[in-house]
C-alpha cells in the first residue's frame, strides 16, 4: 500500500495511515455502530464482530464480488511488448500531424499624437 503522507496548508506533515492506525479502536461518529477500523460495536463500545468476520461473511454471500487483495496483473503477451500503436485520424498524414495549427495574430502598434494627449487632459 502506498504511503499516504500529505502536507497541510500550514506546512505540517500529516501521515494519514499513522492517524488511522492510532485511532482504529475509537468509535466512529454517526448512527452506524462501528469503530474506525470497521468492527461492529455493542453496548459500551465492546467489539461484537471483527472486521475480518464481516468481510468474510459478505464475500460468502456475494460470490461475484471482487476482492481488492486478489488483483493480479495480467501477463503481457509478445504482441503487447512492442511500441504502442499511434492513434491518429485516417485523414491526417504523419507529416502534417505535428504541424502547429494555431492561428497567430499580429499586434498593430498604435501611435498617439500630441493632439490626442491634449484632449484627454
Share of the chain above pLDDT 70, in %: 55
Q: Do residues 35 and 24 lie in contact, with contact meaning Cβ atoms separated by under 8 Å?
A: yes
Distance between CA atoms of 109 and 114, rounded to whole angstroms?
A: 16
On whether residue 26 sits in a domain, the answer given is yes
Task: Please give the residue range of the domain that contains residue 25.
Answer: 1-66
Report how many domains make up the chain. 1
Collapsed DSSP state (helix, strand, coil) of residue 86 = coil
What confidence score (pLDDT) does residue 28 get? 86
Compute the mean pLDDT over every residue in the chain, rounded to the nearest whole number: 76
Maximum C-alpha span of the chain:
90
Share of the chain above pLDDT 90, in %: 31
28-87 pLDDT per residue, tens: 888 999 998 899 999 998 999 999 999 999 999 998 887 766 555 677 665 555 566 565
Amino acid at each position: 500500500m502506498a504511503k499516504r503522507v500529505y502536507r497541510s496548508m500550514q506546512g505540517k506533515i500529516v501521515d494519514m495511515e499513522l492517524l488511522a492506525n492510532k485511532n482504529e479502536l475509537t468509535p466512529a461518529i454517526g448512527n452506524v455502530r462501528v469503530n474506525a477500523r470497521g468492527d461492529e460495536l455493542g453496548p459500551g463500545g465492546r467489539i461484537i464482530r471483527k472486521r475480518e468476520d464481516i468481510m468474510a461473511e459478505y464475500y460468502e454471500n456475494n460470490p461475484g464480488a471482487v476482492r481488492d487483495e486478489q488483483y493480479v496483473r495480467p501477463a503481457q503477451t509478445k504482441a503487447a511488448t512492442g511500441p504502442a500503436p499511434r492513434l491518429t485520424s485516417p485523414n491526417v498524414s504523419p507529416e502534417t500531424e505535428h504541424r502547429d495549427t494555431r492561428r497567430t495574430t499580429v499586434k498593430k502598434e498604435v501611435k498617439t499624437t500630441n493632439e490626442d494627449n491634449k484632449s484627454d487632459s
